[in-house]
Amino acid sequence: MSARVQPDAQVQMRLNPRTGRVEGVVLFPKPGPYFLVMLGRPLPGRQIPPFVMQAIVQVLPR
């Protein structure tokens, strides 16, 4: 059995055809510290290795 963690944030990612870059918006439910982990893999036809990006994020109140 493996533990699964439900994400706190909503992420919307898409490829920008003008720049060729993946861009996104991350929406956090409330202010506070978060440990953000993003897993990536290449799009079809792309030659990049899979990756893991980790960052500590402090979300401030609006």
Residue range 7-47, pLDDT digits in tens:
778 888 888 899 988 888 888 899 999 998 888 888 788 88
What distance in Å separates the CA atoms of residue 34 and residue 39, rounded to the nearest whole number? 16
Q: What pTM was computed for the model?
A: 0.61
DSSP notation for 4-53: ----SSEEEEEEETTTTEEEEEEE-SSSEEEEEEEEE-PPTT-----EEE
- Do 12 and 25 meet the contact criterion of CB atoms below 8 Å apart? yes
Q: For residue 54, what are the contacts with CB-CB under 8 A and spacing of at least 6? A: 35, 36, 37, 38
